[in-house]
Amino acid sequence: MNLTTKRHTIVFVIRLWAEYLNEDPYAWRGTLSGIEPEDDVPFASLEEMNALLMEKVYGQLNMKKRDPTDID
């Protein structure tokens, strides 16, 4: 029995740093970069970074985001 999984690779570079500009606690900032230079997207929190990653990945895979409460 041959069980193969279809694989699709998506490459990103995440630049992440902490900013201490009179903020306690510090704020996470960064950029999410794709293959093309115009794909660079800044973000201002880890939550925003996660949302951007999900948006880019699902966009690349042309998939609809699945509700984790849905049971097959």
**29 belongs to a structural domain:** yes
**71 belongs to a structural domain:** no
In the chain, the number of structural domains is: 1
Does position 72 have pLDDT exceeding 50, yes or no? no
In eight-state DSSP terms, residue 6 is -
**53 belongs to a structural domain:** yes
3-state secondary structure of 38: helix
User: What confidence score (pLDDT) does residue 48 get?
Assistant: 95
User: What confidence score (pLDDT) does residue 6 get?
Assistant: 76
**26 belongs to a structural domain:** yes
User: What confidence score (pLDDT) does residue 67 get?
Assistant: 55
More confident residue, 59 or 16: 16
**30 belongs to a structural domain:** yes
Q: How many Å from the N-terminal Cα to the C-terminal Cα in the chain?
A: 24
Long-range CB contacts (within 8 A, 24+) of 29-34: 32/56
Residues spanned by the domain of 48: 13-61
CB 53 within 8 A of CB 32: yes
pLDDT tens for each residue of 24-71: 788 899 999 987 777 789 999 999 999 999 988 888 777 655 555 555
